[in-house]
Amino acid sequence: MANDEKKLHIAMFPWLAFGHMIPYLELAKLIASKGHLISFISTPRNIDRLPKIPPTLASLINFVKLPLPHVQNLPDNAEATSDVPLNLVPFLKRSYDALQDSVTRFLEDSHPDWLLHDFCPYWLPPIARKLGIPSAFFSIVSAAALCFLGTKAYFGERKSPEDFTVPPRWVPFPTTVAFRLFEVFKIFGQGITGVEDDVSDVYRFVDVLQGCDIVAVRGCVEFEPEWLRLLEDLNGKPVLPVGQLPTTAFDSEDDTDTWRWMKAWLDLQSKGSVVYVAFGSEALPSQTELTEIALGLEQSKLPFFWVLRTRKGPADTELIELPEGFEERTKERGVVCTSWAPQLKILAHESVGGFLTHSGWSSVVESLQFERPLILLTFYADQGINAKVLDEKKIGYLIPRKEQDGSFTRDSVAESLRLVTVEEEGKAYRDKAKEMKGLFGDRDSQDRYVNSFLGYLKTHLQSQKVE
């Protein structure tokens, strides 16, 4: 009984991307709501930009601000991937790696019961082991994406971009899940082979998978049972799904003011008619892509609400612009919002009938918890794998693109939007989105996953003491 009542101290160290920090914070809130203590480690500016937590959890979530060491070529105040264009992300990784000493000191001083870390700090599992702290790699990417990467035993086996466009030989069941060629081209250097002295993302992943004690995955058995089993078989260690972590919002007064005018516009639209367009904090279309998306939206004749980012931080010199006259021509049926928007509230509104998204998993979860069908346009990283998983299960529709360069047309955008949102042929996608609500938005199911995860963490600690 005493074991069940033990309150844990869990340290969390996510990668410096909001697509990673937010799911870590969601899990932190769920764990803290059970009375456990969280030390959430990140940089000062990132912590200040995180969503506010409920006052009831304030005493249980301790935000640990570690100043980000300066490295050459990284702009001042750049502390997250959303602050820099893609070509500067390697410098952000170098800066993150330079946090090694300060993270180690924190762990030595506080000695948490468990450490949950991301894919990036490949140097951290050996440090945790030396300090006697069990570590879990908490992956915000799916089990399918982790399986696709493989393990250290397979590292370097795939040498050409084309090798990544077919399912890996270690996947024993039939699947179509693989990258498309243009998606591999975008990540082949930084992500797969590494550039100059930089450690590649794939190496970080497989090294962390090998070094950690257990793997915690954002996901659920009901959605990807075969991938979760394979991940455990490949790595020879426990793989624990923690649920899909649907986002929970804590409103501030500023958010309410912003939402007021947006809701007023959405209220005027017919039920299920609006296309919501947003590509997260990381993905940014090129000027050519932006033009085709805009003209495709216009051509679709559907009402739309577009949250548009035109640059990634002050260091981004490639400002993208809407086609001339677009806003004027579509002002009667569309909104282009270039500031922050409450995505959860927009998706929850009954006028929204489809979501044009980059396939980032947080956006997928938010969409499906409100039964919104997905139109998929990938840009980077694991988005290509996510999109193929959704496509294979007929949960999302991939906008047709050229395999070699990923180009697409305004016609294909317009046709895809209409198909998924309003046309009879796309009803299967709308029905499937409704069916998914139970997996992606059920709070009781989410609670069971967190309880099961915490039960494992406690049992592991107890067994260590017995030994």
Tens digit of each residue's pLDDT (9 = 90 or more) over 16-61 = 999 999 999 999 999 999 999 999 999 999 999 999 999 999 999 9
Domain 2-247+442-466 grouped into CATH 3.40.50.2000:
yes
Using the predicted structure, report yes or no on whether residue 195 has a pLDDT greater than 70. no
Using the predicted structure, report yes or no on whether residue 193 has a pLDDT greater than 60. no
Q: Is 237 exposed, middle or buried (0-12, 13-18, 19+ CB in 10 A)?
A: middle
What's the pLDDT score for residue 55?
94
Identify the DSSP state of 268: T
Distance of CA 181 to the CA centre of its chain: 22
**What's the average model confidence in pLDDT over 196-218?**
90
Give the phi and the psi of residue 181 in degrees, each rounded to 5: -55, -45
Range list of H helices, 252-360: 253-267, 287-300, 326-330, 343-348
What's the pLDDT score for residue 1?
36
Where exactly are the structural domains of the chain?
2-247+442-466, 253-440
**What's the average model confidence in pLDDT over 185-204?**
73
| Alpha-carbon span 131 to 125, nearest angstrom | 10
Q: Which of 83, 113, 118, 316 is catalytic?
A: 118
pLDDT classification of 258: cutoffs 50, 70, 90: confident
Whole-number Cα distances in Å, 435 to 228, 393, 398, 407, 427:
21, 12, 19, 32, 12
Number of other residues whose CB lies within 10 A of the CB of residue 78: 23
**What's the average model confidence in pLDDT over 325-344?**
93
Catalytic residue list contains 460: no
Q: Please report where in the chains the tokens 């998978």 appear, as a residue.
A: 209
What's the pLDDT score for residue 3?
45
Which residues lie across from 117 on neighbouring strands?
A: 13, 137
Residue type, 62: N
What's the pLDDT score for residue 431?
96
pLDDT classification of 380: cutoffs 50, 70, 90: confident
The reply to whether domains 2-247+442-466 and 253-440 share a CATH topology is yes
What's the pLDDT score for residue 2?
41
**What's the average model confidence in pLDDT over 110-120?**
97
**What's the average model confidence in pLDDT over 394-411?**
96
What's the pLDDT score for residue 56?
95
Work out whether strand 114-117 and strand 135-139 pair parallel, antiparallel, or are unpaired: parallel
**What's the average model confidence in pLDDT over 264-281?**
95
Q: Reduced to 3 states, what is the DSSP secondary structure of residue 356?
A: strand
| Alpha-carbon span 262 to 228, nearest angstrom | 40
Output b/e per residue, 284-309; b: 16+ Cβ within 10 A. Answer: bbeeebbbbbbbbbbbbebbbbbbbb
Using the predicted structure, report yes or no on whether residue 69 has a pLDDT greater than 60. yes
Using the predicted structure, report yes or no on whether residue 308 has a pLDDT greater than 90. yes
Q: Which of 20, 36, 117, 349 is catalytic?
A: 20
Sign of the torsion angle spanned by Cα atoms 84, 88, 93, 98: negative
Radius of gyration of the chain (CA): 22
What's the pLDDT score for residue 255?
65
pLDDT classification of 189: cutoffs 50, 70, 90: low
What is the share, in percent, of the chain residues with pLDDT greater than 90? 81
**Fold (CATH) for 253-440:** Rossmann fold (3.40.50)
- The pLDDT mean for the chain works out to 92
435 Cβ contact list (under 8 Å, min separation 6): none
Catalytic residue list contains 118: yes
pLDDT classification of 420: cutoffs 50, 70, 90: very high
**What's the average model confidence in pLDDT over 151-157?**
86
Using the predicted structure, report yes or no on whether residue 290 has a pLDDT greater than 70. yes
> On the CB side of 129, how many CA atoms lie within 13 Å of its CA?
11
What's the pLDDT score for residue 280?
85
What is the share, in percent, of the chain residues with pLDDT greater than 70? 94
**What's the average model confidence in pLDDT over 334-345?**
92
- Between CA 118 and CA 218, with CA 232 as vertex, the angle to 5 degrees is 40
Taking a C-beta distance cutoff of 8 angstroms, is the pair 429, 374 a contact?
yes
| Alpha-carbon span 451 to 445, nearest angstrom | 10
Q: What are 438-448's pLDDT values in tens digits?
A: 899 899 999 99
Cα dihedral value 176, 182, 186, 191, nearest 10: 30
Order of all β-strands in the sheet with 9-13: 61-65, 37-42, 9-13, 114-117, 135-139, 214-217, 239-241
